[in-house]
Structure 1
Amino acid sequence: MKALLSLNKYLYKYRGRLLLGFIITIGARVFSVFTPQLISDSTTAIEKYVNGEVTSVAEVKEELLINIGLIIGAALASAILTFLMRQTFIVVSRYIEYDLKNEVYAQYQNLSLDFYKRNRTGDLMNRISEDVSKVRMYVGPALMYGVQTLTLFVVVIYFMVEAAPKLTLYTLVPFPILSFAIYKLSVAINKRSAEIQQFLSRLNTYTQESFSGIAVIKSYGILGRFNSDFVELSNQSKEKNISLVKVEAFFFPLMILLIGFSNLFVIYFGGMQYIDGKIESVGVIVEFLLYVNMLTWPVASVGWITSMVQRAEASQERINEFLSETPNVKNKSPNSSESIRGEIEFKNVSFTYEDTNIVALKNISFKVKKGETLAVMGKTGSGKSTILELIGRLYDVDEGEILIDGKPIESYNLDGLRQQLGYVPQDAFLFSSSIRDNIKFGKADATEEDIINAAKNAAVHKNIIEFSKGYDTILGERGITLSGGQKQRVSIARAIIKDPQIVLFDDCLSAVDTETEEEIFSKLNKISNNKTSVVVSHRASSAKNADHIIILDEGKIKEEGTHSELIAQEGYYRDLYQKQLSEKEN
């Protein structure tokens, strides 16, 4: 149970409620064990009347009625306390589930981008949902029934020893066997539970990817293949679950068998002791039978509790794997808050992607002054997008340094830095909500006028108002309702509504025509006055108005200068410009 030790902080947090639940549980169990004693007393009263020791029927009847009243009262008290017990333990388990999900989600938010390249979405979702639910069963039902079972054992055995010590020993003979069986089965359950949770992550990942890529699957006509693969995965998942259920199925019959042996021992050895005069009344035997059968559910629940604990152990171990992950990009100034002007400088920057070992940048140096526009061009894989990711501190450099306003980028509060950036990725991601909400994502308190102005500046307002619901149009997952160009322009509107000091455009107009691109950049040049812009593009038309242009090739700066300077010399930029100019004329 080492993995579950990480939950102790939550148990300590709610220690008051748990202590109250523990006290209530003891009270509920104490009241419940009064019943066998009262029934024993009633049996003894009848026995004495039959044996002639008591001759008054009225006296026996009065004692029986009193005992019946006490039994009903004890049962009511036990029922009320049991209800309160559930209200404490189960409610605490929901609080812990809430806290744990928040902790996992916060960790997901803090982890670096490379973490998400190494792990699949389905697995991330499974750990924050299914695994956390398994852990909740441990801090809720398992803990509650564990305390209840332990308390009942202690109380019942105490009363049994008080009534007949020797008979108690005979009754408890099967319990060492029970303990050994529980240990062996627990090991098997833990192993199978871990396998099931891992496989469930695979199944969730496959399902999530199938739904996300349904358009591609349909267009390739491979629905049948995906269905058959899913059936195969489902069957494997079923077999693994069945293997776990087969092991768990041993628990209840085994408990009932051992309880049955205890009943036989009580009847035989108790009867022999009664015949030998070591037990004064048959009521003691009846009392013991009730005690043993009262232990039936707690003993049977030991298997269920053990199963829940083992599943929770396997799940918490998976959760801890991610909680122990350390983000590569750390917020070294979490308490500082500093505005930036927008000057950017790269000094001999080199960077290699850890997951692929691809060298993206090699000894890159350039400087962008406040209010200037830098255009970055080059072939696919030359390192253009990496420059934007480093400015947003999605990664930290391997060598060299990046300066913002003359200060190392690491010295800024990470959240504060990113809040002052407007980033438009190449693959525009939109949320499954309204167009209005997607644009407001850049500025939560934006007015309707702000939203419309941002849409107009991104040249998407006319498209939006043509929809039947306008800005209230609900987008499908990842913005599937819109065309590629519309998604890119909504993404631009989301970035510029922030009014950031630095705007990063990562080939974000690749899905629009040249005329629309020029219209958008014309408007952006007007609204981004005194703001620093870094534009990554494959089109010379996007770069020609920039204050400075750099051409990357295999992570190195191959050419740099203004549009007129680069046009005047032979090279990649001039060839590209002339080629795209001739295509436009044709």
Structure 2
Amino acid sequence: MKKVIIDLLKKFKLHIIGISILLIIINISRLFPAKILGKIIDLYPNAKDNMQAIIKYFLLFAGIVLADVVLRMFWSYFRKKLFFSFEKNLKDRIFSRFLKLKTIGLQKTKNGELMSYLTKYTIDIRKGFTSFICDFIRVIIVLFILSTLMIQISIKLTILVFIPMIIDSIIIIILKEIIKNKQEKAQKAYTKLSEFVQESTDSIRITKAFNGEEINIKTFKEKSKKLKKANIDVSVYSALLYISIFTCFGICYGISAIYGTKLVVANSVTVGEFIVFNSFINEMFWPLIWFPRLITNMKNAQVAVLKLDEFYKLPTESLSGTRQTINGDIKIENLNFKHIDNKEALKNINIRLKQGQTLGIIGTIGSGKTTIANILLKLYDIDNNQVFVDGKDINQINTYELRDSFCYITQESFLFSDTIKNNITLFNDKFTDEQILESVKYACLEEDVNNMENGIETIIGEKGITLSGGQRQRVAIARAFLYNQNLIIFDDSFSAIDNKTEKIILNNIKEVLKDKTCIIISNRISDVNFADNIIVLDEGQIVQEGKHEELITQDGLYRHFYNQQSLMNVS
């Protein structure tokens, strides 16, 4: 993560140098109007004799103020442009990294945490970057120049005024450390609440179906209460911090009023210098405001970088390998696979599938059917010389080229909150409306689309909430007909579709995709009975293999499924 930030700093180094120089000029220029004003005040008692000098100082005063306003406008524009460009580039890199993560890394990370990476943490780093560039420079420049100018007026008065400021700085550091701990607790509470909200929105139908609203509301209130308490703690200590600052300045003004007046009476300082000195005390207020903000933002940025370091340590996929045109021959030899919990998912799997053939995979729940699909798509890592595509070890084939040859219709049928058209094309604009409508026809979705007011341009809501389960699956199936890839996997893609529609779709698959290599994963015999070869999985092992006609004559799991489902269809 640190390397990413360093790369971004290098990318924007000219912008950083530019606004830093501008900021130095602005902060130097803001301190001189007060000194000029002090000169004018000292000259004013003899205004007639000093009119020319007063006018000269007044014009200089007005010129510096005007220049300061113009410079601040430019600085404000370029500052915001730089910092938001920095944040945008950081988010782009994090999101790109997220898409390259291995499945094993994603399984370890919750959705709420992923959202925090792209929202809160990037904002915290941007604020830390902003504070370091702006607040740090301002604190150093203003403190140095102010101290010099104040000492020139009265070194004793300056020391007396600086004593409460130094004490207050120590108090600020102590309070900021407490605030940091409170902010970490608040961040954890925020992440937990975000994760719960994400899970609640994903499971809203189940929640309603089981009357779980009251439980969810209770849980939400508990998590929200913890977040509220954590935020209140942060606010209380932050308020104490600012109270200490305002108290400090009250004391400073008191010291200046008592001892400064004594110096004026003794003619050690002029009235103008006394007024200028008090204006410098007022200017000292800003470094003490910037300083805690600098510490807070840098601490938050530090926490964010550590969190993103954890994210960047998650393993990413390698896109290396040979680029080649993939036709569709698949061979699996003695494949064994274990999940991250070390549980054996597949044992000694052997499969041979030639281009244009259809393989049916059926089995008990959790028998490893989807695991085979994930391995073919290189979503899981395996040892060499176990899976071959077109005679080449899958580990030696470029990941992008391999996946580009597959069309994978998953069992979840995930849909975007967009049009039916974009959900079928997956936002790829290379397809014509005629091609899309043809795929809609083959997926038996034509009648449904025609009944919609805007046809394929109809917005289907978040995750396709306006569609039925069968319609959502048919939108996903339409992708297979549209993309027409050489390798197609249907993973339990017909479970929500009625038998009549399912038969039509399967016939279309046999006719339209007859030259493609198809793998159909299902728990239903009717989905796989036409396949060239069928394997039956149980506890990660192939327990039966053959054609439908052969398997129903054999004692075993397949005939058990067949008899069971035949009875269900009769009833």
TM (normalized to structure 1)? 0.92
Corresponding position: 1:292 with 2:281: yes
Task: Percent identity, please.
Answer: 27
Q: 2:114 aligns with which of 117, 120, 124?
A: 124
1:192-211 map, 5 Å: 192-211=182-201
Partner of 1:434: 419
Match of residue 153 from structure 1: 143
Choose the corresponding residue for 2:319, options 328, 331, 334. 331
Q: Following superposition of structure 1 onto structure 2, how do residues 512-531 of structure 1 map, counting pairs within 5 Å?
A: 512-531=497-516
Q: Residues 203-262 of structure 1, C-alpha deviation per residue, up to 9 Å, x if partnerless? A: 112122222222222222232222222222222111100100111112222222223333
The answer to whether residue 236 in structure 2 is matched with residue 246 in structure 1 is yes
Check 1:5–1:417 CA distance in 2 against 1; reply closer, same or farther (3 A cut).
closer
1:305 & 1:491 partners in 2: Cα distance?
50
State the Cα deviation string for residues 123-174 of structure 1 (Å, max 9, x = none).
2112211222222222235632332232222222232344444543333223
**How many residue pairs were aligned?**
571
Shifted more, 9-18 versus 163-172: the winner is 163-172
The one-letter amino acid paired with 1:530 is: D
* TM-aligned CA deviation for residue 179 of structure 1: 3.1
1:80-123 C-alpha deviation (Å, 9 max, x unpaired): 22222222222211001101111111111111223333222222
Q: Taking structure 1 as reference, are residues 280 and 216 closer, same or farther at Cα in structure 2, changes over 3 Å only?
A: closer
Q: What SS class does the counterpart of residue 175 from structure 2 fall into? A: helix
Matched residue, 1:96: 86
Q: Which residue of 1 aligns with 2:488?
A: 503
Q: Is the 8 A contact 1:274 1:280 kept in 2?
A: yes
Deviations 1:184-218 (A, max 9, x none): 12211221222212211111121222222222222
CA distance in 1, matches of 2:159, 2:565: 95
Deviation at 1:280, TM superposition (A): 5.3
1:541 shift after superposition: 2.2
CA deviation vs aligned residue, 1:22-71 (integer Å, no higher than 9, x gap): 11111112221112211221232246x4xxxxxxx412344333323322
Q: Which residue of 1 aligns with 2:545?
A: 560
| From 521, 525, 528, the counterpart of 1:543 | 528
For the pair 1:262 / 2:286, whether they are aligned, the reply is no
Moved more, 84-93 or 388-397: 84-93
Q: What do residues 287-326 of structure 1 show as CA deviations (whole Å, max 9, x unaligned)?
A: 2222111111222232233222222322332233212322
Deviations 1:489-518 (A, max 9, x none): 110111231111100011111112233222
User: Which amino acid in structure 2 is aligned with residue 331 of structure 1?
Assistant: L
> Which amino acid is 1:298 matched to?
P
Distance 1:534 1:520 in 2: 15
Amino acid at match of 2:296: S
- Residues 1:31 and 2:29 aligned together: yes
> Residue 136 of structure 1: which of 105, 108, 126 is its match?
126
Cross-structure match for 1:52: none
Matches within 5 A, 1:157-306: 157-271=147-261, 279=268, 281-306=270-295
Retained in 2: the 8 A contact 1:348–1:399? no
Q: Of residues 344, 354, 376 in structure 1, which corresponds to 2:361?
A: 376
The one-letter amino acid paired with 2:306 is: E
After superposition, the Cα gap between the structure-2 partners of 1:413 and 1:365, relative to the gap in structure 1 and judged at 3 Å, is same
SS of the residue 1:432 aligns to? coil
Deviation track 1:549-584 (CA, whole Å, cap 9, x = no partner) reads 111111111111222332342222233334434544
Equivalent position SS for 2:163: coil
1:64 corresponds to 2:50: no
Separation (CA, whole Å) in 1 of partners of 2:388 and 2:570:
42
2:301 equivalent to 1:341:
no
Letter in structure 1 aligned against 2:84 = R
CA distance in 1, matches of 2:391, 2:419: 40
Check whether the contact 2:536–2:544 (CA below 8 A) recurs between aligned residues.
Answer: yes
Three-state SS of the structure 1 residue aligned to 2:230 is helix
Aligned partners of 2:75 and 2:451: how far apart in 1?
A: 59
Bigger CA drift: 233-242 or 514-523? 514-523
Q: How many Å apart are 1:443 and its aligned residue? A: 4.6
Using the alignment, how far apart are the partners of 2:167 and 2:3 within structure 1? 28
- Residue pair 1:126, 1:200 contacting (<8 A) in 2 also: no
Residue 268 (structure 1) shift: 4.5
Q: CA separation in 1, counterparts of 2:542 and 2:269?
A: 101
CA contact (8 A) 1:374 1:535 kept: yes
Counterpart check, 1:412 vs 2:397: yes
Determine if contact 2:116/2:191 at 8 Å carries over to the other structure. yes
Structure 1: unaligned runs, 5 residues or longer = 50-56
1:54 corresponds to which residue? none
Q: Name the residue aligned to 1:482.
A: 467
The amino acid of 2:294's aligned partner reads I
CA distance in 1, matches of 2:514, 2:427: 19
Separation of aligned partners in 2, 1:418 and 1:4? 32
Contact 2:131-2:293 at 8 Å conserved across structures: no
- Whole-Å Cα distance in 1 between the matches of residues 392 and 94 of structure 2? 33
- What is aligned with 1:353? 339
Distance 1:269 1:305 in 2: 32
Question: Which residue identity lines up with residue 318 of structure 2 in the other structure?
Answer: K
- After the TM superposition, which parts of structure 1 deviate over 6 Å for at least 4 consecutive aligned residues? none
Relative to the length of structure 2, the TM-score reads: 0.94
Paired with 1:350 and 1:485, the residues of 2 have a C-alpha distance of: 35
Contact 2:532–2:547 at 8 Å: present in 1 too?
yes
The one-letter amino acid of 2:327's match is: R
Query: Could you tell me how far 1:276 is from its partner in structure 2?
Result: 6.0
Higher deviation after alignment, 472-481 or 112-121: 112-121
Between the aligned partners of 1:583 and 1:129, the Cα distance in structure 2 is 50
Partner of 2:366, secondary structure, is coil
